[in-house]
């Protein structure tokens, strides 16, 4: 049985990545592609790498007939997403890739995003889409909120450690190295090749990046007390990848064991042998996340490094994994592509 | 039914690319991986991006039991390949990715590669592996010789034009831009990141690159007279891709029509609408080849540009496509992955 | 004696490159920096790499007092330039880096740029700024028109050959590989790092790039008959550099000799030993142009490859070299920086 | 007056960078270039970007006549350096760029480098070459030991803070992002473009990188007690640059003030306005180091980020700055080149 799906925001990178993954899925048919600014164009003209696929034309979102659609991916910009989703038919199951439904507390949302939430009821209903930790709720949810790509990476490194009380909650440093596709296809001077290539820098320094809201929400809930990590993302001259270097206080061997146990049965989370290091190049274009644990020479301290592809496991791959759960399909369908190296 | 296959030379880029493609193939089981220099290691240690796969350990080639193997991919260096293949059991069907069996004439082989051929009988038997033009012979061949990646790209742009007498055979310029993975994983100073990144240059200038032997052989056979193209490859700071810009004398509209007709039913060769340009980024990691045709402002001249991924359509993807034919499988099995962009 | 200069269009790449070069010049003082869109900002905020320099604030062009200025560099966009320069005081000597005064024939200008020229009198007066070939006229000119960066590269490879009648004028192919900074700091989707990195393509295919107008004008004047080269630029994932691969009919040894003789006394044009190849990485950040000549295996054909840095020798370095001539300074002042490799 | 200098190890990146800088120095004449493995070759063949310079041929080190040489730069590999320097004439002043004389304690040297020191007397005599902090000793030293490039970057961020007791010595995390030229021109698989480009990873994880020996030595001496920072370097796909992100406990405003005061008169150390972020692209090819300070949202914590070019300020620029001091020249001679951006 083939499920009919729609993708809203198909002209952005996460939309294109969804199509790339669904192309070999087998159980999904792309019935509609919404992209208001490029309505009337073909995907072949917007993303020539998808020209071999037989896809519907891009159309305005309010002209899409959702009656036969089983599930809708919403890859729209933040704020737009909540407006569009509010207007979608209530039968529709939705996987949202924006930031709009990640934070459960409307006050936290407003604090981090600067505007009051326009769909508070939906916000309450939404399930946080970090698959491995919300699997059961996702399977039955109507609306799943995809996580931030940085937030996913950091949580894969740290959640089991917080849950197992294996690290000191007051000394967590999260230093992230992020590839540029995470910033999307927007026209900004600092995303130009000539600006970015051959250089790198930190941004949102001071733990003020919006994905902090997710770390605060998730880590504090897990610990049963407020947890405030230090988090600095850096923009790296590469297209895909997030590498999260986390500095923690705890016993490295125990930390490795906790992570290995936690992810033993996970198809996509791979804990490397103790002391080995992950690299973004080894997960590129795939839904895998590699995690390495090493002891610091200072006793009682450890470094946990996680690597994933921001567009795949950090965004569209996660979304497809959640959609598979919601449609009662094998969770890994369309997601077992090996990384593309070199 | 699952076919058992072996890959010799599994520690190089084309070996790894074969495994990446076969991972989602469904009809092949990788029964043996040969790599003399890294025998005893796991693929996870040699290519960590493949660590999620359940693969045999790397072993010495002469310790492999070929009795149950249906087909063997040989991704060894030039010259080594002819020695190894000569010693393989005669029941084994072989797809060779080296240069050893591409040239039918032993004298031409010696001219371009500098040593006499050590397996002349096999050389005679080998079928040239440019799938779309040798399909029937490949299907029944015992030994298929994968083409040079540059040679494949240039031939996709030009073969139908020579066959249709649509261009002047004495004025063909082939300017190629090649990504670095085509040079393999060998340790050479000019392949270091610090040397290559942010710079580019021509090499083998003067139409003296070894892939010229293939152009000479194929184009002359096709034309029924000697054809000597001018061919300059350039090394570009990117990992995957070949872009062949060919300057020809002929009518652009007719040229476009000839190519469009020739490739109308080909699953992987896509002729773009007249006047559109291909880009390597739009075929990256895939088995597709995009071809664009544009008229020059000087009447009677045209530019034909072809783009493919040297590791996929230019090498391992071609090899798998040929293996599918040899095993009577659907030719596209394992090869319909969409390009990985961005 | 220090000359007071102004730079209009200081917020673009060529403006910044001028300042980088002038910083070690010794004989020039930057008295005014014009940049309408960023007026009121400091250069340190627009280009933080120049923060160590003591520079004037950016100001609106019509608020600059030109009374004490000896020479003005105009690095504004095409079309804007002719309007601004028309309004500048007539005592001012000007080096324009835009395309506005490169073509002497108003009809040619309109053909290539799509609008009638708004300063036809100035257009007549302007001297074409290819230093080595217009040195005397540049020294006494009031207005010098900087060449296109592609046009400069192609001309360095070909002018002496046309002048010496050493090549067949009807068979000239110019295949250029251009780094991205040549496109400036403008916000266009295809200049984003995620779009450009790891991919490359041809553009303005069919010999329709605007710099063709310069080739037509200069080559035809030199030959005394119309010369129509074939010219295809390609966008390469690198920040600086142009590599021009030219395919010509002629005797390679003679061609090498003609070029070596022509440039024997030139401080910046370096003809490599016969058969050696230039690379953009070896001229990066410098005012040098390297030129290599190699015979094709087909008798009577040759390949001439020229490499330069589009921002330096192709634009701002050329402009400074011309300004030195106009101010009766040593032509090489501020321009002997060694290339920055790796 | 021109000082005659020699450069040993001229075929490596730091040797080439020295020559690039000295090319515009004015007060130095390069009298000898030593490079055992490439003796007999010209610099133009080893580093074509230096072909415009009139340089001596590369020669074997033991064939160099040091009698007229004033100062010798030694850019040889670790361990080789101590052997070569032991054999140099005692009149010669030496700036060593290797790791051999950075650690004063022979036991520490053996611990980090794995072999006993072969020139213990010289080791005692050597002055640590972090210019801004050892200026007086460097001026009169016979042997100056260039610092590690990572060690320099981290110390610029932290030394004044430790000296001023402005941060908690037990909670210092140093997360470094290093470009590939820091690894030199050696042939290693992980330095290939195809391996490195488009990916990044941590190495020497666990605070076990050799430059830790320098941090231990310098920070502990400064604090008067053992200081053990946590330090993880990461390899980034870029050619030049080190970005050190340091996480400290202390008052951000005070930290900014301490750094601004400490470096107020330094020509190359630039403390950015409070809250601004440095980027490696803005120091590329120059001797500048940019430092930014930002408060973390958690009170009492701060992030200090330092950026420099590993080949210039981190190595050859530092060496030239020290040589200027030793020769009683203006410290900034040959070092005021503006960064090369884009």
Task: Give the tens place of pLDDT for each residue, C85-130.
Answer: 999 999 999 999 999 999 999 999 999 999 999 999 999 999 999 9
Closest-CA residue to D162 (of D150, D174, D176, D175): D174
Partner-chain contact C205 B277, CB within 8 Å: yes
Partner-chain contact A206 D305, CB within 8 Å: no
- Average pLDDT over chain B reads 97
Residue B35: per-residue pLDDT: 95
- What is the distance between the alpha carbons of residues A43 and C61, in angstroms, rounded to a whole number? 44
In which residue ranges of chain D is pLDDT below 50? none
Question: What confidence tens digit (pLDDT) does each residue in B102-134 have?
Answer: 999 999 999 999 999 999 999 999 999 999 999
Q: Does position B315 have pLDDT exceeding 80, yes or no?
A: yes
The residues near A213 (Cβ < 8 Å, ≥ 6 apart) are A102, A103, A108, A109, A111, A112
| C277: closest CA of chain B, how far (Å) | 7
D341 touches chain C (CB under 8 A): yes
Partner-chain contact C16 D341, CB within 8 Å: yes
CATH says B150-310 is which class?
alpha beta
Partner-chain contact B49 A270, CB within 8 Å: no
| A245: closest CA of chain D, how far (Å) | 8
Domain A3-147+313-326 classified CATH 3.40.50.9100?
Answer: no
Spans of all domains in chain D: 3-125, 150-311
- What is the distance between the alpha carbons of residues A289 and B29, in angstroms, rounded to a whole number? 25
Superfamily of chain region D150-311: Dihydrodipicolinate Reductase; domain 2 (3.30.360.10)
| B219: closest CA of chain A, how far (Å) | 29
Percent of chain C that is helix, strand, coil (3-state, to 5): 35, 20, 45
Catalytic residue among C72, C74, C149, C178: C149
The residues near C107 (Cβ < 8 Å, ≥ 6 apart) are none
- Confidence band for C251, pLDDT divided at 50, 70 and 90: very high
Residue C179: per-residue pLDDT: 97
- Confidence band for C68, pLDDT divided at 50, 70 and 90: very high
Partner-chain contact A200 D243, CB within 8 Å: yes
Residue of A nearest to D201 (CA): A279
Looking from the CA of A253 toward its CB, the CA atoms found within 13 Å total: 1
D173 touches chain A (CB under 8 A): yes
Partner-chain contact A191 C194, CB within 8 Å: yes
Backbone angles phi, psi at C14, to 5 degrees: -70, -30
Q: Does position C186 have pLDDT exceeding 90, yes or no?
A: no
- What is the distance between the alpha carbons of residues B223 and A38, in angstroms, rounded to a whole number? 46
Contact (CB, 8 A) for A281 and A242? no
The residues near A100 (Cβ < 8 Å, ≥ 6 apart) are A78, A79, A81, A82, A85, A109, A117, A119, A123, A145
Lookup result for tokens 């960066």: C149
A211 touches chain D (CB under 8 A): no
Residue A326: per-residue pLDDT: 98
Residue A186: per-residue pLDDT: 87
- For an interface test with B, which of C172, C279, C288 has the most B Cβ atoms less than 10 Å from its Cβ? C279
The residues near B178 (Cβ < 8 Å, ≥ 6 apart) are B149, B150, B233, B234, B235, B236, B241, B242, B310
The rounded Cα C38 to chain-centroid distance in angstroms is 25
Tell me whether residue C149 is one of the annotated catalytic residues.
Answer: yes
Q: Torsion angle, CA of D313/D319/D323/D329, rounded to 10 degrees? A: -10
- Average pLDDT over chain C reads 97
Question: Nearest by CB to C342, which of B195, B245, B307?
Answer: B195
Q: What SS3 state is found at A114? A: coil
- Could you tell me whether strands D3-8 and C301-308 are parallel, antiparallel, or unpaired per DSSP bridges? unpaired
Lookup result for tokens 């251009």: C178
Partner-chain contact C189 A192, CB within 8 Å: no
A91 touches chain B (CB under 8 A): no
Q: How far is CA A106 from CA A86, A209, A217, C228, D128, in A?
A: 16, 18, 12, 66, 56
* Fold of domain A150-309: Dihydrodipicolinate Reductase; domain 2 (3.30.360)
Partner-chain contact B285 A288, CB within 8 Å: no
Percent of chain B with pLDDT over 70: 100
pLDDT in tens, chain A (342 residues): 799 999 999 999 999 999 999 999 999 999 999 999 999 999 999 999 999 999 999 999 999 999 999 999 999 999 999 999 999 999 999 999 999 999 999 999 999 999 999 999 999 999 999 999 999 999 999 999 999 999 999 999 999 999 999 999 999 999 999 999 999 998 999 999 999 999 999 999 999 999 999 999 999 999 999 999 999 999 999 999 999 999 999 999 999 999 999 999 999 999 999 999 999 999 999 999 999 999 999 999 999 999 999 999 999 999 999 999 999 999 999 999 999 999
Contacts D189 to B, Cβ<8 Å = 185, 187
Q: What angle do CA B180, B186, B187 make, to 5 degrees?
A: 105
Q: What SS3 state is found at D116? A: coil
Lookup result for tokens 């033009």: B133
- What is the distance between the alpha carbons of residues D169 and D226, in angstroms, rounded to a whole number? 9
Q: Does position B290 have pLDDT exceeding 80, yes or no?
A: yes
Residue A182: per-residue pLDDT: 94
Percent of chain C with pLDDT over 90: 99
Residue D183: per-residue pLDDT: 92
The residues near A338 (Cβ < 8 Å, ≥ 6 apart) are A286, B19, B20, B23, B24, B49, B50, B52, B53
- What is the distance between the alpha carbons of residues C276 and C274, in angstroms, rounded to a whole number? 6
**Two tokens, residue D338:** 């503006």
- Confidence band for C258, pLDDT divided at 50, 70 and 90: very high
C281 touches chain D (CB under 8 A): yes
- What is the distance between the alpha carbons of residues C112 and C214, in angstroms, rounded to a whole number? 10
ipTM entry: 0.97
Strands laid side by side in the C242-249 sheet: C201-202, C230-235, C173-178, C242-249, C301-308, C289-295, C269-271
C255 touches chain B (CB under 8 A): no
Residues 111-140 of C with CB under 8 A from D: none
Residue of A nearest to B266 (CA): A52
| B142: closest CA of chain A, how far (Å) | 29
Residue B94: per-residue pLDDT: 98
| C193: closest CA of chain A, how far (Å) | 4
Q: What SS3 state is found at D267? A: coil
Contact (CB, 8 A) for A173 and A227? no
Lookup result for tokens 């430790």: D162
Residue B186: per-residue pLDDT: 87
The 10 Å Cβ neighbour count of residue B215 is: 23
Domain D3-125 classified CATH 3.40.50.720?
Answer: yes
Question: Nearest by CB to D239, which of C13, C282, C342?
Answer: C342
- Could you tell me whether strands A230-235 and A201-202 are parallel, antiparallel, or unpaired per DSSP bridges? antiparallel
Reduce the secondary structure of chain B to three states and give it as a string.
Answer: CCEEEEEECCCCHHHHHHHHHHCCCCCEEEEEEECHHHCCCCHHHHCHHHCCCCCCCEECHHHCCCCCCCEEEECCCCCHHHHHHHCCCCCCEEEECCCCCCCCCHHHHHHHHCCCCCCHHHHHHCEECCHHHCHHHHHHCCEEECCCHHHHHHHHHHHHHHHCCCCCCCCCEEEEEECHHHHCCCCCHHHEHHHHCCCCEECCCCCCCCCHHHHHHHHHHHHCCCCCCEEEEEECCCCCCEEEEEEEECCHHHHHHHHHHHCCCCCCEEECCCCCCCEHHHCCCCCCEEEEEEECCCCCEEEEEEEECCCHHHHHHHHHHHHHHHCCCCCCCCCCCCCCCC
Partner-chain contact A207 D296, CB within 8 Å: yes
- Confidence band for C290, pLDDT divided at 50, 70 and 90: very high
**Two tokens, residue A106:** 């409307």
Percent of chain C with pLDDT over 70: 100
Query: Where do the H-state alpha helices sit in chain D?
Result: 13-22, 43-46, 80-86, 106-113, 120-125, 131-140, 149-163, 193-196, 212-223, 252-262, 317-326
Contact (CB, 8 A) for C52 and D332? no
Widest Cα–Cα separation across chain C:
62
B272 touches chain D (CB under 8 A): no
Looking from the CA of B180 toward its CB, the CA atoms found within 13 Å total: 33
- What is the distance between the alpha carbons of residues B12 and B24, in angstroms, rounded to a whole number? 20
Residue D281: per-residue pLDDT: 97
Mean pLDDT value across residues C146-175: 98
Residue C241: per-residue pLDDT: 98
- What is the distance between the alpha carbons of residues C208 and A202, in angstroms, rounded to a whole number? 42
- What is the distance between the alpha carbons of residues B315 and B98, in angstroms, rounded to a whole number? 9
| A28: closest CA of chain C, how far (Å) | 28
Closest-CA residue to C171 (of C179, C161, C183): C161
Question: What confidence tens digit (pLDDT) does each residue in B185-213 have?
Answer: 989 999 999 999 999 999 999 999 999 99
Question: Nearest by CB to A24, which of B13, B181, B336?
Answer: B336
Residue of B nearest to A334 (CA): B24
| A85: closest CA of chain D, how far (Å) | 33
User: Which chains reach chain D with 3 or more Cβ–Cβ distances below 8 angstroms?
Assistant: A, B, C
The sign one gets for the Cα dihedral A74, A79, A84, A88 is positive
The 10 Å Cβ neighbour count of residue A125 is: 13
Residue D1: per-residue pLDDT: 75
Partner-chain contact A342 B240, CB within 8 Å: yes
B163 touches chain A (CB under 8 A): no
Question: Nearest by CB to C193, which of A13, A180, A187?
Answer: A180
Element of type H or E holding D308? strand D301-308
B200 touches chain C (CB under 8 A): yes
- What is the distance between the alpha carbons of residues A285 and B341, in angstroms, rounded to a whole number? 9
């Amino acid at each position: 049985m083939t499920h009919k799906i729609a993708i809203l925001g198909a002209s952005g990178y996460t939309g294109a990545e969804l199509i790339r993954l669904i192309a070999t899925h087998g159980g999904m048919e792309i019935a509609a592609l919404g992209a208001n600014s490029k309505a009337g164009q073909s995907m072949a003209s917007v993303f020539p790498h998808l020209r071999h696929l037989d896809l519907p034309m891009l159309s305005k979102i309010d002209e899409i007939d959702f009656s036969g659609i089983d599930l809708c991916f919403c890859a729209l910009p933040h704020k737009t997403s909540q407006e569009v989703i509010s207007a979608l038919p209530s039968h529709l199951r939705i996987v949202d890739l924006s930031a709009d439904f990640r934070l459960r507390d409307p006050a936290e949302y407003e604090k981090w995003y600067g505007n009051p939430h326009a769909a508070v009821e939906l916000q309450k209903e939404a399930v946080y889409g970090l698959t491995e930790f919300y699997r059961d709720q996702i399977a039955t949810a109507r609306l799943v909120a995809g996580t931030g790509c940085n937030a996913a990476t950091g949580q894969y490194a740290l959640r089991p450690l917080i849950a197992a009380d294996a690290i000191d909650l007051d000394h967590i440093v999260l230093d992230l190295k992020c590839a540029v596709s995470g910033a999307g296809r927007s026209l900004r001077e600092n995303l130009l090749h000539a600006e970015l290539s051959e250089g790198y820098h930190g941004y949102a320094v001071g733990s003020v990046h919006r994905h902090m809201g997710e770390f605060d929400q998730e880590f504090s809930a897990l610990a049963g007390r407020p947890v405030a990590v230090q988090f600095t993302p850096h923009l790296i001259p590469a297209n895909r990848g997030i590498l999260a270097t986390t500095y923690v206080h705890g016993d490295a061997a125990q930390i490795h064991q906790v992570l290995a146990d936690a992810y033993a049965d996970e198809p996509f989370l791979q804990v490397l042998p103790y002391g080995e290091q992950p690299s973004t190049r080894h997960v590129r274009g795939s839904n895998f996340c590699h995690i390495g644990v090493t002891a610091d020479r200072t006793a009682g301290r450890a470094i946990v490094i996680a690597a994933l592809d921001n567009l795949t496991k950090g965004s569209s791959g996660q979304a497809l994994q959640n959609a598979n759960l919601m449609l009662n399909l094998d969770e890994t369908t369309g997601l077992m592509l090996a990384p593309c190296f070199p």
